[in-house]
A and B are shown apart, each in its own frame.
Chain A
Amino acid sequence: MKKTLLAIASLALCSVFSVTVYAAAPEAPAAQPKTLEQIHGAMWPKSADGFVTKQQCMQCHGDYEKLAKQTANLNPNPHMSHLGQVNCEDCHKVKQAKPDLMCNQCHNFTIRKTEAKK
């Protein structure tokens, strides 16, 4: 139970946080943003073969459909890509606060906030 609550808490934190860091917001963040490792703490899943699988992440964070809704106000929407269900760690690095956009391995997007259309 305690674990579930923790997971929900970290999910909520992460969700709010991810929107902030994804967007090219003009205002500077007040505090030093936390890395994923710091946010998750002991909740960071154990890695298999050197990386955490998307299945592990989606157990708490929901599937891509849900994630795409959460970031529907971002253009382009990083969770609704033609590549499909990429591994979360391809963008979200454990030691970083800000994701490396996998899209930009081929493209060069600046993700912008648009009108919320959740």
Chain B
Amino acid sequence: MKLLNRRNVLKSGFFGTVAASLAAVSSTASAQQKAEAAKQDPSKVYDAIVLGAGPAGLITAIAAKQAGAKKVVVFEKRDRPDGNAIFALGSVCGWGTRHQKEQGINDTADDFYAMMMDVSKQMGDKALNRTYTDNIPAGIDWLEQDIGVKFGKIRPMPYPRLGRTCRVEGEGLTGGAQLVKKLLAAAEKNGVEIKYEHKGIELLHDDKMNVTGVKVQTPKGQEEYLSKGGVAIATGGFSANPEMVDKYIGGWATRMVLRGSKSTTGENISLTLPMYAKCVNMDQFHSGPIIGATHVNPADVLNSGYGVQVNTSGNRYMDENNTYVIKARTTAQKTLDNTGYVIVDSNCSVLDRVIPKFDRLNSPYGKADTIEEVAKQVGLPADKIVKIVKEYNQAYKDGKLAEMNPPCTYKKPHPIEKAPFYAIPLQGGMTATFGGPLINTKAEIQNLDGKSIPGLYAVGNSAGGIFFHNYAGGAQLGAATVFGRIAGKEMAERAKQAQ
């Protein structure tokens, strides 16, 4: 083995650098050559390229077509649409809709905008939330009239519980899956090409950092496609990428159960960072309860205002008077196994809705005539649970629940007294991440110098800036609709100008 001296180190360093530079030059040259070659191949030149076949991507592609783009393609990395939407109830949050009018719900743009900002603790981008507000009525009409989406009656949704959510009729599927199905049919009708197992791995750009196309990984190898109108990233967020979740949110969050897609792996970040995109709100996400092994959602019990909540060591770990969102997040943060139980009695008003869901999915829970027995059934330390329930009932009688540690601040508390008793499990789950490249009101991605990156768009959960802290039920699909339609029109216009 050669001994390293200073000269050798310098030499190897120098030649290493030269070699690396040469490799970089040759790889760049090869990429450019390929791009040139692609230019010669008209089948690989499009007016608009969209990455991701979820609602945001399909809406963008259809809108581009309808705005006059001749050749539009959607590249989907899986062999079918596999984003978060197919797991969703499928609600679109809006105001001024036909549905509101028919149901006698009075609403205004200003009230809607104020709600959007309130839900985001005033931290959502004001211009983007205003754009959402101004464009959602037409967006919902378009989904109904152009795409053929059927909406059911507006029903109250979780916070802020206002009559604004149009629920997609599932017709045997989840509402979100039905929405995707309808959009796929509309995309085909409008002449949008969809290429499956085509994963965007690198954005192509010219020497002025204008995005010119995308390099795609296919089962047959890598291919390069060019776009005159630009590239819209509609790949969703990064909830299914544990490395990114750890980096941007924290290790504890990597132990959360995925409530949605396993395919949302952060291409909105990895593709745009090399373009110096300004990624914002990266630590923000939505959470909800779920059982990892069966994907039952115990949210109704958590929101019912009944019972005490304990960890698997048999200790209370949070104020039970919290929404299911906070309960899910806190369970992941404060318990190493991301698992808690709610001990309720038979008076709990939502059991008739929740227990059948558990039974249908063979999802275990405890049910017994004594607290001791119900604790034993689910493996909780019975003596501790008996003591906690006793203390809770005593504090309830004395009006001192808020003095417990941690306090329990139910507004209308109930004792735990009527057998049979239930132990309902919960785990913290991640619904979607809110962070991503900041867009402007034209859905153009912003760079770190505060300028739009020409030819680069983000739509749906790929885009950053709209949401912070929480979102109004149906606003994710609403934003996909609004900004998808905007991005589609923008790319069509850009393609026309490039002719």
Contact = CB atoms under 8 A, between A and B. Distances in A.
Interface of A: 48-49, 53-54, 77, 80-87, 106-110
Nearest to B362: A108
B295 A80 contact: no
A82 B80 contact: no
Interface string B405-422: 000000000000000000
Contacts of A80: 172-173
Given A84-B81, A109-B361, A49 B173 contact: no
Nearest to B178: A82
7 contacts: A77-B172, A82-B86, A82-B176, A84-B80, A84-B180, A87-B79, A110-B362
A108 B86 contact: no
Given A82-B86, A84-B86, A84-B180, A107 B79 contact: no
B166 to A, nearest CB: 19
Given A107-B295, A108-B294, A108-B362, A82 B81 contact: no
Contacts of B176: 82
B360 A82 contact: no
Interface of B: 79-82, 86-87, 172-174, 176-177, 180-181, 219, 293-295, 360-363
Contact of A86 (B80, B180, B361, B362): B80
A53 B172 CA distance: 25
B174 A82 contact: yes
Contacts of B295: 106-107
B25 to A, nearest CB: 33
A54 B79 contact: yes
A48 B220 CA distance: 11
A19 to B, nearest CB: 19
A107 B357 CA distance: 11
**Top 4 nearest A-B pairs by Cβ distance?**
A82-B177, A82-B174, A108-B294, A108-B362
A109 B360 contact: yes
Main secondary structure of the interface of A (DSSP, over half): loop
B181 A84 contact: yes
B339 to A, nearest CB: 17
Given A80-B172, A84-B181, A86-B80, A107 B361 contact: yes
A49 B197 CA distance: 12
A106 B260 CA distance: 10
Nearest to B174: A82
Contacts of A107: 294-295, 361
B361 A108 contact: yes
A103 B172 CA distance: 15
A49 B362 contact: no
A107 B363 CA distance: 9
Contacts of B172: 77, 80
A33 B158 CA distance: 49
Contact of B219 (A49, A83, A85): A49
A15 to B, nearest CB: 21
Contacts of A110: 362
Contacts of B81: 84
Contact of A83 (B86, B293, B360, B363): B86
Given A109-B360, A109-B361, A83 B80 contact: yes
Nearest to B364: A108
Contacts of B361: 107-109
Contact of A108 (B174, B177, B180, B363): B363
Nearest to B360: A109
A106 B257 CA distance: 10
Contacts of A83: 80, 82, 86, 177
Nearest to B295: A106
Nearest to A109: B361
